[in-house]
A and B are shown apart, each in its own frame.
Chain A
Amino acid sequence: MPTVIVAHFKTNIYEYLEALQKSTLDKLYEEPATCLAIFRLLPSLARQLVMSLLFSTQIMSKADLRQWIKNDKESLSKFEEALDKLQKLHIMIEQENKTIALNSSFKQKFQECLTGGGTHQSFGKLYNKPHRHSQSNSHKLPDIKTLDEHAKTKWEEILHFMVGTDRMNSPGASVLKVVTKANLMREKEGKGLEITNKGFQFLLQDVNTQVWAFLIQYLDLASEMLHMNVVEVLNFFFMLGSLELGQDYSVEGLTDTQRQLLDDLTNYGLIYRPKKSSKRYYPTRLATTLTSGNSAIVSNSSSNNPTDDDDSATEQGFIIVETNYKLYAYTISIF
């Protein structure tokens, strides 16, 4: 099961990135967090090829790389697939003299990612100022449970809106725009928006795929209508994927485009902000699992996230005493 889920959301982003211009991709590779996120989307053999070339200064040709691969059909086909993907994403570039090399911007920034060098602040600037309202009860700092609640509420608002259940809050205007543009819902005369076939399929997908499909449509919308800088928006998405859940980050250092995003992303449940004008934001689980492939919590009943041991630990046991004085105790097993 996990195999299929991961493949879906990767394909979405991958197709979008492939369609971008080479120059846009080069600009994207100037942020180490983006390099890391895109690197993790590659097939396994492609990732190994990048790593083998990352710190090497040798000039290699395609035939040289081929020497590294075993000589059977399956290995060679995987090699061709890997090279093809790398070249399409402009990570590996074939020069005129038949040599093949890593994109120099990607190479340098990915090296910085692994060694921790540079001053890019690509992995999220921490909010270092003391919390003003931490003492008073009315503005409590959000804990992970609050963040999960917020994410779940906002995302389900969108899903329920699509299905047409009568709910108190209808999602914001930007949601309506995205949903119409993505052809997930369409205008029906007099009755407002109605869900389409594609919309139904969207509802059946897992959360990660849904979130990415949504974000990609948002990206298209943002670049066409709001003239937002696609590179900055993508960089922000990939940075969100590398942040820590439960930690607050400063909006300082974000570009204007990225600050514009904050409101919309709060409406989708990816970010939590204590106040609209707050100088800090908290990524929710929907954001931190963007590039990891782990499932984001949406439903209350089961959490697929294996690192979330809160739910299982607080599972209550219980004791039954029958009228014939028999006692049954259901407790947590220690084995």
Chain B
Amino acid sequence: RVSSDGKTPKFQPPPKPVIIDRKTKKEESRFLSPEFIPPRGRKDPLKYYIERKDMIQRRKVFNIPEFYVGHILAVTTANPLASDKSSRFVGICIQRGGTGLGATFVLRNVIEDQGVEICYELYSPRIQAIEVLKLEKRLDENLMYLRDALPEYSTVDVNMKPVPRMDNEEIPVNKVQVRMKPKPWSKRWERPKYNIKGIKFELPEHKMQAAQKWSQPWLEFDMLREYDTSKIEEKIRKELSEELEK
């Protein structure tokens, strides 16, 4: 190459690649599945330890992804009566319950104008695959009120493609306010004991204030009812990371 002024150009080294260290971010977002945390009680911790070992064994063989209430999941289970011996169900996770090996989650969908809810056990050997199609958290931990909401809020497309997600991103919170069918509902969701933030209540003011009669404002100050799980969680996380590395 000939430059304009006749001299050979000075060698410009290519720009060095910038390495973005993502390792620190990954360690911060440590998710511990809620079924690992033992409930408060007088049971021997040995029972929970043995259960956790079995849970870890299962997790080594079968991948249970991280998910919360409000995510849209697709579960394939083994079904002896179906033609390919497996059946697939897609739905929104409305509740996660149970601890230990009996941990369950309920998926809800509306298929041909009929609402369907199926309660799956996370550690059941019949489950062949769990895929997370869409990640989004909701304002509440329990979406049972979707039963009394308009069916459009519970319909999930059965042939939905998984929405791509960047790793190490915060899980977005969907702040949708759900509109309900006219009363009566299966539970009185306006009452403060359910503490639901995700419903757009179209009830008259006097009904909302009448519901506040059942509020128990002293409950938040009742210190003995608090269950501080931070230390227990630390121990379990350490145990899990040790076991899964083996």
A and B associate:
no
A binding-site residues for B, Cβ under 8 Å: none
